[in-house]
Amino acid sequence: MKKKTATAVIAAAVGLLAAATAPALASGFTLELSAPPAVVGQPLVLQATGTIDVDEIGFPYWFSLDAIPTRLTTTCPPDRWEAAQFANGAGGAVIVLSQRETPDAAGRFTVPVAVTPTAPGTVLLCGYTDDGMTTTLARASLLLDIKSAERPPSPPAELRSAIRGCQALLSGKGARRCVRAAAKRARAGCRRYPSHRRQARCLRKVRKVERSAR
């Protein structure tokens, strides 16, 4: 898996925990995918949970997870190898190639998967339980909605908000000192921009906002 491609696809927020399941393909085998709200740039842990037939827990079974662009399909392929081909061939990613499922005495297991979204959008997650060879025993799908990260307000916008607070809570010299301190912080914020042109434009706006408060 190429990390850059994988993170770009998992590049995502729903207000509640998202979860999706699919009917078991073999008796006693189940699989479910769930995810917290997904936001660009914020790491999150997906959860794959399921069961293995208690008569089969002495044998190894494997989990895989693929991310497929929804522009290609919103339905997971029937088996893991087809899903991996879809992911690789359409700009998606194989997130988990093959990880051992470790069940408890009742056959229950959990596989956590850490990802960091890097772009907004919706991605189809396809999870599978297989026998390590050719047989898919359970599968699950989840449409993950990745939201854009909120941009912090610009220094001039922060200064306007600070000035309103200064003038609402203080008066006279106290208000003026408060405004000067806020303007100093805003100028420092402008100077953090990498472009000199952007710094200059930001500083001009800050001076204009500061003058309007006099």
CATH number for position 104: 2.60.40.10
Cβ-proximal residues to 10 (8 Å cutoff; 6+ apart), any chain: 38, 67, 93, 95, 115, 116, 117, 118, 123, 144, 146
Last residue of a domain, one of 103, 131, 147: 147
- Sheet of 121-130, strand order: 38-39, 136-147, 121-130, 62-69, 93-100
Examine the domain organization and report whether 189 and 105 are in the same domain: no
State whether 37 and 104 are in the same domain. yes
Tens of each residue's pLDDT in the chain, 214 residues: 444 444 444 443 333 334 454 445 657 899 999 999 999 889 999 999 999 999 999 999 999 999 999 999 999 999 999 999 999 999 889 999 999 999 999 999 999 999 988 888 999 999 999 998 889 999 999 999 999 987 788 999 999 999 988 888 888 888 888 999 999 999 999 999 989 999 999 999 999 998 887 7
Question: Residue ranges of the alpha helices (H) in 102-171?
Answer: 155-169
- Statement to judge: residues 106 and 188 lie in one domain: no
Check: pTM over 0.95? Answer yes or no: no
Query: Which domain covers residue 103, as residue numbers?
Result: 3-147
- Both 20 and 42 in one domain: the answer is yes
Q: Which residue's structure tokens are 């609402």?
A: 168
Domain count, the chain: 2
Distance CA 28, CA 55 (A): 9
